[in-house]
């Protein structure tokens, strides 16, 4: 398996399919439209990673860094390839790339109906922030 930076736009159809098959933890919205992903990639294209096996994308993660904090979006592994350390390797590489940018702390959101993801992140050193509730607002 190879980890690499996403080749956008060539990889994007396969990534969208992967996200759609990933289960309840990856919730697609307006910010996942191609024009929104393009805006994101202008900022930090090196934080959009894919795992490739035999020429097929079997995992991906999208990261962000605003100069102060890091964010993790859409870690997804093809259901047929789970339990093969693909998610772990993607997260490790993303965390290394964030660290190299000077990121001191990163955040991620997990849907409440995804206990497997919560356990995955806890095994990898992420801690729940029980004192927080997440808020969101559409701006357009």
Cα separation, 129 vs 127, in Å, equals 6
pLDDT profile of the chain (140 residues), mean per 10: 97 96 90 95 96 97 97 96 96 98 96 92 96 90
Cα separation, 22 vs 90, in Å, equals 15
Supply the CATH number for residue 9's domain.
3.40.630.30
Query: What pLDDT is attached to residue 25?
Result: 85
Would you say residue 90 lies in a domain? Answer: yes
Query: What pLDDT is attached to residue 29?
Result: 93
Would you say residue 102 lies in a domain? Answer: yes
Would you say residue 16 lies in a domain? Answer: yes
The token duo for 133 is 């509730």
Would you say residue 136 lies in a domain? Answer: no
Total structural domains within the chain: 1
CA distances from 123 to 14, 26, 75, 88, 129 (A): 28, 19, 15, 10, 15
Would you say residue 32 lies in a domain? Answer: yes
Would you say residue 130 lies in a domain? Answer: no
Would you say residue 139 lies in a domain? Answer: no
Cα separation, 25 vs 140, in Å, equals 24
């Amino acid at each position: 398996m190879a980890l690499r930076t996403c080749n956008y736009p060539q990889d994007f159809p396969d990534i969208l399919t992967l996200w759609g098959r990933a289960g309840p933890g990856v919730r697609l919205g307006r910010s996942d439209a191609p024009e929104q992903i393009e805006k994101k990639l202008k900022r930090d294209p090196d934080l959009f990673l894919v795992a490739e096996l035999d020429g097929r994308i079997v995992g991906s993660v999208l990261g962000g860094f605003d100069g102060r904090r890091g964010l993790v979006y859409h870690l997804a592994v093809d259901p047929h390839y789970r339990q093969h350390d693909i998610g772990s390797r993607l997260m490790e590489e993303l965390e290394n790339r964030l660290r190299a940018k000077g990121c001191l702390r990163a955040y991620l959101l997990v849907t409440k109906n995804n206990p497997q993801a919560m356990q995955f992140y806890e095994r990898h050193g992420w801690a729940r922030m029980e004192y927080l509730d997440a808020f969101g607002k559409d701006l357009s």
